[in-house]
């Protein structure tokens, strides 16, 4: 986890207080037990993510994942279940790529963890998070996620013995992972959150 972030929600906090929960998590704990990120969203990491997301070129991102193999094995085990944050269907059809699901597949190939994109669903129409700031991001995603009608049978089929992880590519304010994890918590299973990269300043 990048230095100076809350261990539970992943948002920036003074180095003198980290690791540990931030004030918001102490007052109102999020659904996830922990939030981990591989990289800070800047420099070569930022360039690799943008090439992957905007141009469909995952060369840099996949290289960074492979170079982080030791860290990924520290976070994930073959008994874990990886659940990608779902994209709006219209956007997925336009881009031809489900970024979080693709990220899960590559983490799975390295760690042996199982992944399933069918459990957590996107619902309704919402603005892109990148077009919003601060509290607007939290409000925008209320009721944005739901569980598949047969989520219990899907979870049972995986015989989960490890952790359930909700996976996203970039963590900024933490709103997306927070709402996705809140939805997953309805399955009465403890969840953790992971992002490939995170910003060090809320937008």
pLDDT, one tens digit per residue, over 167-202 is: 999 998 888 899 999 999 888 889 999 999 999 764
Angstrom distance (rounded) from CA 175 to CA 142: 9
DSSP 58: -
pLDDT band, very low/low/confident/very high, at 5 (cuts 50, 70, 90):
confident
| Range with lowest mean pLDDT among 19-28, 85-94, 141-150 | 85-94
Q: Tell me, what's the pLDDT at 30?
A: 86
pLDDT beyond 90 at 28: no
User: What distances in angstroms separate CA 169 from CA 14, 154, 155, one per listed residue?
Assistant: 24, 24, 23
Q: Tell me, what's the pLDDT at 95?
A: 59
pLDDT band, very low/low/confident/very high, at 61 (cuts 50, 70, 90):
very high
| Domains of the chain from N-terminus onward | 23-198 (3.40.50)
Q: Which residue has the tokens 């003074």?
A: 14
Task: Identify the CA nearest to 46 among candidates 146, 203, 202, 196.
Answer: 196
pLDDT, one tens digit per residue, over 135-168 is: 555 555 667 889 999 999 999 999 999 999 999 9
Across 41-190, the runs of DSSP E, i.e. the strands, are 81-84, 114-115, 120-122, 145-147, 164-171
User: What distances in angstroms separate CA 53 from CA 25, 58, 67, 165, one per listed residue?
Assistant: 31, 8, 20, 21
Task: Identify the CA nearest to 103 among candidates 195, 183, 31, 199.
Answer: 195
| Range with lowest mean pLDDT among 43-52, 58-67, 127-136, 166-175 | 127-136
pLDDT beyond 70 at 89: no
Q: Tell me, what's the pLDDT at 133?
A: 52
For the chain, how many helices (H) and strands (E)? 9, 7
**118-130 burial string, b = 16+ CB within 10 Å, else e?**
ebbbbeeeeeebe
Q: Tell me, what's the pLDDT at 203?
A: 41
Q: Tell me, what's the pLDDT at 27?
A: 86
Angstrom distance (rounded) from CA 65 to CA 105: 11
What's the mean pLDDT when you consider all of the chain?
Answer: 85
pLDDT, average across residues 108-123: 94
């Amino acid at each position: 986890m990048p230095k100076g972030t809350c261990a539970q929600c992943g948002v920036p906090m003074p180095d003198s207080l980290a690791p540990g929960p931030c004030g918001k998590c102490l007052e109102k704990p999020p659904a996830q037990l922990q939030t981990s990120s591989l990289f800070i969203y800047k420099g070569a990491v930022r360039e690799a993510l943008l090439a992957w997301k905007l141009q469909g070129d995952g060369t840099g991102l996949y290289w960074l994942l492979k170079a982080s193999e030791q860290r990924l094995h520290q976070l994930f085990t073959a008994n874990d279940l990886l659940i990608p944050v779902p994209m709006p269907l219209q956007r997925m059809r336009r881009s031809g790529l489900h970024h979080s699901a693709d990220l899960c597949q590559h983490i799975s190939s390295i760690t042996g963890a199982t992944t399933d994109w069918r459990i957590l669903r996107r619902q309704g129409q919402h603005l892109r998070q990148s077009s919003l700031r601060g509290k607007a991001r939290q409000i925008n995603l209320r009721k944005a996620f739901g569980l598949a009608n047969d989520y219990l049978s899907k979870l049972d089929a995986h015989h989960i013995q490890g952790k359930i992880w909700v996976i996203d590519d970039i963590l900024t304010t933490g709103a997306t992972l927070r709402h996705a994890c809140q939805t997953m918590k309805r399955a009465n299973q403890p969840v953790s959150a992971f992002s490939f990269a995170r910003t060090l300043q809320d937008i």
